[in-house]
């Protein structure tokens, strides 16, 4: 597979030094990992990855004596220095007590500055970045399944490394697995690889640790284009391939907008329902939730989003979690442009308006620091940084820039930005310096530096922030108002032709506690209880539970048990938790569903049930 040599472009720009990452023990100013070589055995019975991680090192400080790595719950057996000839020498190491968020600092004493160190280790079954599923928890119920989720700081739970987005490295891996199991990673994958239990991978581009990914299970493959394929369990792969058949068109569209796709192949792995996110932009292989497989392509903007990360996030990466809007805000903006080009402006505007209205409703309930695009990192956990503010306020800012400077000028700026910082990790100050030189100063009078900085550094949303127009949403607003006022029966809503986004919009803007009679009328007319569309179901059950409709509880519990995606599950738990009876039912449901949830979902639900939830 020919790779576009974007690396050569990035090589002209030096690695930028940043303040210490508060979410990592690593000391990259002393020594920096440049390459990772993994040799692992996958054991479903033990729920364990075990083997060696060899780290190639670039020593920056001649006086440095230690290599400091991030780990969480790893069992470290030994550490060795490895010289250029491959000779190994034991090294002294110390594993510090476990910090609840950061894990345990691994300090390796290495005053002789070895070219590489080799760490023998094993994961624990409860590793926060891995989920092990029994055959019964998969779609086809034939073989066990395992997948990783390294974002934000969970790579350290399955590999000892410098777990900071500021540090990029290439990697190769050899993985031994049971026969008849397919292993895939965030690298080029061979769809025709024999299921012989012996897999090798190579990622030649430098990536940050949160993009390190692995999965293994009963996986079939269907090609969707000359450089794309879908991987999924055999019973799912056909449906997934149909849903994602436009993948090549999406890649080509993005290339026209923002330059060459640098990664060679773009494959999609559809995971079991326990996957905690909508999608994860792992290089070469997006991990995706099955909840987008609704049959009508109405939710394939998820693919547009994860593909967009191939430019914003994977190619140009935020150097710290406080700057994650550089990944997610830019990506959400690019997602909208892809959706507009392939599926039309009306759908892109609806999706932008949905997110903007939701943010307008929620942002005022957040602490002031959390409302900023660059919050104080000391009061925001790495996982917490992935909030609606990063996605939706960030993309709203970029849409504002596009409107002020014109699409042609903004596209030129953005294409240049991706090329200039290719395969680098940057912070907001670095991004802003480029923005100032290549947009604000280049076209004076369009937006002042102070106004642009207010978007980034101030809480809230500027009062003059532009919103897209949507005649269909305007019509839905009128119908919703008339329905709530008793002027329009539920059955007379013009909803027969509503797409998923339009149903989402109708439900999103119902009162937080809608009268029970109105909820009953909607369900009688449109039969939302039991919907297979999880986006609609999440909203519907939350409203119905808040209204006191106990008739939906069984279907809501089925939704909560079937789906492990945080965004689609936690709002329903939250709705139940507002009353003593609902809380008791939620706890009973969770006891049945827990084993099928990812550790991240378990933690989030347990916070809700304990009354400690932070709504994001």
**pLDDT tens for residues 407-438?**
999 999 999 999 999 999 999 999 999 999 99
Q: Does 393 reside within a domain? A: yes
User: What is the rounded average pLDDT for all residues in the chain?
Assistant: 94
On whether residue 166 sits in a domain, the answer given is no
Residue 511 placed within a domain = yes
| pLDDT for residue 378 | 64
**Does 598 show up as a binding residue in the annotation?**
no
Same domain, 446 and 508: no
What string of DSSP letters covers 329-378? HHHHHHHHHHHHHHH-HHHHHHHHHHHHHHHHHHGGGS-GGGGSSS--GG
One domain, residues 330 and 414: yes
3-class secondary-structure state, position 472: helix
- What pLDDT, on the 0 to 100 scale, is given for residue 372? 95
Same domain membership, residue 389 and residue 331: yes
Domain with 564 in it: 502-609
Confirm or deny that 205 is annotated as ligand binding.
no
Do residues 452 and 555 both lie within one domain?
Answer: no
* Whether 424 and 325 share a structural domain: yes
Q: Is 391 a catalytic residue?
A: yes
Do 321 and 445 belong together in one domain?
yes
- Pair of tokens at residue 126: 């409860």
Is 258 among the residues known to form the active site? no
Is residue 572 in some structural domain?
yes
Question: 3-state class of 105 per DSSP?
Answer: strand
Same domain for 507 and 410: no
Whether 43 is in a domain gets the answer no
Q: Considering 80, 233, 281, 306, which one is annotated as catalytic?
A: 306
Please check whether residues 328 and 410 belong to one and the same domain.
yes
Contact 340, 405 (CB under 8 A): no
pLDDT per residue over 71-106, tens digit each? Answer: 999 999 999 999 988 899 999 999 999 999 999 999
User: Is the residue at 576 inside a domain?
Assistant: yes
Query: Both 438 and 519 in a single domain?
Result: no
Which tokens sit at 155? 């790579």
Backbone dihedral angles phi then psi of residue 565, each to the nearest 5 degrees: -70, 125
Domain count, the chain: 2
Give the up-direction half-sphere exposure of residue 2: CA atoms within 13 A in the CB hemisphere: 3
* CATH number for the domain that contains residue 419: 1.10.390.10
Nearest Cα to 537, choosing from 225, 273, 251, 207?
273
Instruction: With respect to residue 590, please indicate whether it lies within any of the assigned structural domains.
Output: yes
Question: E-assigned strands of 72-179?
Answer: 75-82, 88-90, 93-95, 104-109, 116-122, 130-133, 145-148, 168-176
Q: Which of 457, 490, 514 is the last residue of a domain?
A: 457
What are the pLDDT digits (tens) for 492-527? 999 999 999 999 999 999 999 999 999 999 999 999
Residue 613 binned pLDDT confidence (cut-offs 50, 70, 90): low
Give the domain-ending residue among 397, 422, 457.
457
**Range in 295-309, 344-358, 411-425, 477-491 the model is least confident about:** 295-309
- CA distances, 96 to each of 19, 90, 108, 540 (Å): 23, 19, 11, 47
Pair (445, 512) in one structural domain:
no
- Rounded to 10 deg, the angle between the 580-593 and 553-562 helix axes is 40
> Beta 66-71 vs 93-95: how paired, if at all?
unpaired
Domain boundary among 401, 428, 457: 457
Same domain (yes/no): 598, 543: yes
Q: What is the CATH number of the domain that holds 521?
A: 1.25.40.320
- The answer, as to whether pTM is greater than 0.95, is no
Q: Active site residue: 261, 391, 413, 505, which one?
A: 391
How sure is the predictor about 5, in pLDDT bands with cuts at 50, 70 and 90? very low
Quote the CA–CA distance of 550 and 537 in Å, as a whole number.
Answer: 15
DSSP string, 516-552: HHHHHHHHHHH--TT-S-HHHHHHHHHHHHHHT-GGG
Q: Is 420 annotated as a binding residue?
A: no
Rounded Cα–Cα distance for residues 145 and 214 (Å): 11
Question: In 3D, which of 318, 240, 323, 330 has the Cα closest to residue 286?
Answer: 240
614 inside domain? no
Q: Counting Cβ atoms within 10 Å, is residue 524 exposed (0-12), middle (13-18) or buried (19+)?
A: exposed
511 and 450 in one domain? no
What dihedral angle (degrees, nearest 10) is formed by the CA atoms of 293, 616, 469, 493? 60
């Amino acid at each position: 597979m020919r790779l576009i040599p974007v690396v050569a472009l990035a090589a002209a720009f030096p690695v930028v030094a940043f303040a210490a990452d508060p979410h990592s023990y690593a000391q990259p100013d002393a020594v920096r990992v440049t390459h990772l070589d993994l040799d692992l055995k996958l054991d479903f019975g033990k729920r364990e990855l075990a083997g060696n991680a060899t780290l190639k090192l670039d020593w920056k400080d001649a006086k440095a004596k230690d290599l400091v790595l991030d780990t969480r719950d790893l069992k470290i057996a030994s550490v060795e220095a490895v010289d250029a000839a491959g000779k190994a020498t034991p090294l002294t190491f110390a594993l510090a007590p476990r910090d609840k968020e950061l894990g345990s600092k691994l300090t390796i004493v290495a005053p002789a500055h070895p070219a590489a160190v080799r760490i023998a280790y094993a994961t624990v079954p409860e590793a926060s970045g891995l989920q092990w599923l029994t055959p019964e928890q998969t779609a086809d119920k034939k073989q066990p399944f395992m997948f990783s989720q390294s974002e934000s700081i969970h790579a350290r739970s399955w590999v000892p490394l410098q777990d900071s987005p500021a540090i990029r490295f290439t990697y190769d891996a050899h993985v031994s697995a049971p026969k008849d199991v397919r292993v895939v990673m965030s690298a080029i994958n061979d769809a025709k690889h024999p299921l012989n239990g012996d897999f090798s991978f190579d990622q030649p581009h430098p990536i940050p640790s949160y993009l390190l990914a692995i999965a293994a299970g009963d996986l079939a493959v269907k090609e969707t284009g000359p450089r794309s394929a879908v991987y999924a369990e055999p019973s799912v792969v056909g449906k997934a391939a149909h849903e994602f058949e436009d993948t090549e068109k999406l890649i080509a569209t993005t290339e026209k907008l923002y330059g060459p796709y640098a990664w060679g192949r773009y494959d999609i792995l559809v995971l079991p329902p326990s996957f905690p996110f909508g999608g994860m932009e792992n290089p070469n292989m997006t991990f995706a939730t099955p909840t987008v497989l609704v049959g009508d392509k109405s939710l394939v903007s998820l693919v547009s989003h994860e593909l967009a990360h191939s430019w914003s996030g994977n190619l140009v990466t935020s150097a710290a979690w406080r700057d994650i809007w550089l990944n997610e805000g830019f990506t959400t903006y690019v997602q909208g442009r892809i959706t507009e080009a392939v599926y039309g402006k009306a759908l892109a505007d609806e999706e932008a308006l949905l997110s903007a209205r939701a943010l307008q409703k929620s942002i005022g309930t957040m602490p002031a620091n959390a409302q900023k695009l660059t919050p104080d990192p000391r009061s925001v956990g790495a996982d917490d940084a992935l909030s609606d503010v990063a996605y939706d306020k960030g993309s709203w800012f970029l849409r504002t820039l596009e409107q002020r400077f014109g699409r042609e000028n903004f596209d030129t700026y953005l294409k240049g930005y991706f090329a200039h910082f290719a395969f680098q990790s940057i912070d907001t100050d670095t991004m802003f310096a480029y923005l100032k030189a290549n947009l604000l100063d280049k076209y004076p009078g369009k937006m002042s530096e102070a106004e642009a900085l207010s978007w980034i550094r101030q809480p809230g949303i500027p009062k003059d922030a532009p919103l897209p127009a949507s005649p269909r949403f305007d019509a839905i607003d009128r119908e919703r108002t008339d329905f709530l006022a008793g002027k329009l029966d539920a059955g007379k809503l013009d909803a027969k032709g509503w797409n998923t986004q339009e149903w989402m919009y109708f439900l999103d803007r119902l009162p937080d506690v809608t009268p029970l009679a109105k909820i009953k009328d909607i369900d009688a007319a449109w039969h939302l209880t039991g919907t297979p569309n999880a986006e609609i179901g999440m909203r519907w059950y939350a409203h119905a539970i808040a209204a006191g409709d106990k008739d939906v509880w069984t279907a809501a519990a089925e939704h909560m048990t079937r789906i492990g995606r945080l965004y689609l599950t936690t709002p329903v738990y939250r709705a139940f938790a507002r009353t003593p009876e609902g809380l008791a039912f939620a706890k009973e449901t969770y006891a049945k569903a827990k084993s099928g949830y990812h550790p991240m979902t378990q933690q989030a639900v347990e916070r809700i049930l304990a009354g400690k939830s932070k709504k994001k």
